[in-house]
Amino acid sequence: MLRKSGPKATSALAVGAAAAILLAACGSTSTSTAKPSSATKGGVAYYAEAAGANPNYIFPLTPGADFSIANISQFQILMYRPLYFYGKGNKAEIDYNLSIGNPPVYSNNDKTVTVTLKHYEWSNGTPVTARDVIFWMNLLKANKTSYGAYVPGAFPDNVVSYSAPNPSTVVFQLNGSYNPTWFTYNELSQITPLPIAWDRTSLSQPAPSPNAQNLPDTTTAGAQAVYKLLNSQSQDLSTYATSPIWSVVDGPWKLTSFTTAGKAVFVPNSKYSGPVKPKLNQFVELPFTSTSAEFNVLRAGNGAITYGYLPTTSISQKSYVESIGYVVKPWVEFGFSYWNMNFNNPTFGPLFKQLYFRQALQHLVDQPAWVKSFLKGKGLCGA
């Protein structure tokens, strides 16, 4: 990832994704990211999306086909804040400072979880309440097989019941005793409070008020109808910036423009009541069809990209991009790539059942050589 240095770029603040090609069981360290040395009010930051990884799904209850970093971590979360913000620096922890929920309290031998909410507001002026958490849970329970993170027996199957005894408190009753650290990080972090303004089955219906009773989500059939509407609206990319649905946000940013190609223009949400307020006038995410297309724009050095990435294949040009004002720093990508093999293939499956064959196949994958040759040394190898 690269940051443009100089006075015009010090106002930029963005995060990005690596563009390296991943091979076998090797994880890429890419050529990567830098944080601005300072941030000033005003200005526009242009962030290069990973090649071919433009956002295309805005509804936080995201199906498996769209369950991606581009959609969730680099798009949705700017507008819709999760109950618990996972990841604190480079640690696998909950960042309670960035979370809507205070640290949960576990009781009843860790079978009861009580969550109290901080003061957050939706952009329509209504508060984020426990009812918004119940709304998410109702939709998830009724449409769990459509959710990309659903695993049978896990969340929300391990939640017996949930309730909102008051506007700032949610209580979960679990089907057993769970490790609090594990349950908070892996299960509660999946929750994204949803505005009651979305609780309808047709756009022709007026947005309900936060205190409305007998809303559709309170029944299974109604929750499925609400999900059907929100899912269909999320598939209509051309309306993202104009929709009365997606304009209600509780995050620091809201969309002012969006193209079907994936160019997203964000402006600050003036009602955002959480920490880390926006300092820019605009934050723009730019789509690219290939790493070479992104690098060509980057290499032009005309400021069209504030934060971008240096493809692994172009590491030899690191000195040049630094000479035109970019700061180049490593970005370790915690991921890996792999090949799926059909071990049950009727013809070749029996071969894979033989240990010597699997060992021979593994020896054909020279991970250190691949990292050195293909990734130009920017990679890590695992077993």
Range of the domain at 228: 53-285
Calculate ∠ Cα 92-97-100, nearest 5°: 100
Query: pTM for this one?
Result: 0.82
Instruction: Say if residue 301's pLDDT is above 90.
Output: no
Instruction: Say if residue 34's pLDDT is above 80.
Output: no
pLDDT tens, position by position, 96-147: 999 999 999 999 999 999 999 999 999 999 999 999 999 999 999 999 999 9
> Which residue would you say has higher pLDDT here, 24 or 277?
277
Distance in angstroms (rounded) separating the CA atoms of residues 50 and 8:
23
Is position 45 within any domain? no
Distance in angstroms (rounded) separating the CA atoms of residues 178 and 191:
17
Is position 17 within any domain? no
Region 171-191: mean pLDDT is: 97
Name the domain count of the chain.
1
> Which residue would you say has higher pLDDT here, 343 or 155?
155
Altogether, the residues listed in the chain come to a count of 383
Region 300-325: mean pLDDT is: 89
**DSSP code string of 136-150:** HHHHHHHSGGGSTT-
pLDDT tens, position by position, 43-86: 999 999 999 999 999 999 999 999 999 999 999 999 999 999 98
Is position 153 within any domain? yes
pLDDT of residue 340: 77
> Which residue would you say has higher pLDDT here, 376 or 186?
186
Q: Which tokens sit at 165?
A: 């005894």
Q: What's the number of CA atoms in the CB half-sphere (13 Å) around residue 274?
A: 33
Is position 365 within any domain? no
Average pLDDT over all residues of the chain:
86
pLDDT of residue 368: 87
- Please identify which residue in the block is written with the tokens 């005003």: 42
Q: Residue 36 — very low, low, confident or very high, per pLDDT cuts 50/70/90?
A: very low
pLDDT tens, position by position, 237-281: 999 999 999 999 999 999 999 999 999 999 999 999 999 999 999
Is position 314 within any domain? no
CATH number for the domain that contains residue 202: 3.40.190.10
Is position 23 within any domain? no
Instruction: Say if residue 7's pLDDT is above 50.
Output: no
φ, ψ of residue 54 to 5 degrees: the values are -80, 150
Distance in angstroms (rounded) separating the CA atoms of residues 184 and 181:
5
CA distances 334 to 13, 27, 123, 239, 254, Å, are 21, 7, 34, 33, 28
pLDDT tens, position by position, 323-378: 999 998 876 665 566 677 788 899 999 998 999 998 998 888 888 888 888 777 76
Q: Residue 3 — very low, low, confident or very high, per pLDDT cuts 50/70/90?
A: low
